[in-house]
Amino acid sequence: MSENHAIRELERRLRAALEAVDPGEGFTPRLMARIAAEPALAARPPRAGAVAGWLTFGLAASVVLAVLIAHEWQVRRLEQGREARRQLIEALRVTDEKLNLAYRAVNSQERAASAEHSGA
């Protein structure tokens, strides 16, 4: 017997030996009983359309949420900028007042010293 013939014969025997067998009449009723007994399974399986609908809704909700978060972040940044600017102006104003006071004090001392000198 040639090599190829032997292989073909083995393949033929394998096909015959591995012929499919039926699990018996009770298989499907047992399965359907299990499905009916489990509340989560007993409910109708979701339709493909319904799943797609929920996916679309979820995606749209995510986009809206992302836009709102970005807007809120932008508003907060503007407010923080305004507050920093206000604090800087206030600091400059206080510094200006202090410098004026010091200038006046120095001037008045100089005037008093020159009046005393001329009087003498």
Partner 1 sequence: MSGDGQWTSGDLLTQALAGERAAFSALVRQHQRAVYSLALRMLSDRHAAEDLAQEVFLQLYRNLSAVSSEAHLTFWLRKVTLHRAIDRLRRAPRLESAAPAELAAAVSETQPADPLLERRLRALVGELPPAARAVVLLRYQEDLDPADIARTLGMPLNTVKSHLRRSLAQLRERLDEAADALT
- Give the residues lining the site for partner 1 (CB under 8 A): 6-7, 10-11, 13-23, 27-28, 30-32, 34-35, 41, 44-48, 51
Question: Smallest distance, Å, CB 76 to partner 1?
Answer: 43
Question: Smallest distance, Å, CB 9 to partner 1?
Answer: 10
Cβ atoms 42, 36 nearer than 8 A: yes
- The residue written with tokens 């836009």 in the block is 67
Torsions phi, psi for 96 (to 5 deg): -60, -45
Torsions phi, psi for 83 (to 5 deg): -65, -40
Question: Smallest distance, Å, CB 52 to partner 1?
Answer: 9
Residues 6+ positions from 9 with CB-CB distance below 8 Å: 1
Residue closer to partner 1 (CB basis): 45 or 119: 45
- Work out the end-to-end distance of the chain between its first and last CA atoms, rounded to an integer number of angstroms: 147
Residue closer to partner 1 (CB basis): 15 or 117: 15
Residue closer to partner 1 (CB basis): 51 or 112: 51
DSSP state of 4: H
Question: Smallest distance, Å, CB 10 to partner 1?
Answer: 6
Residue closer to partner 1 (CB basis): 56 or 87: 56
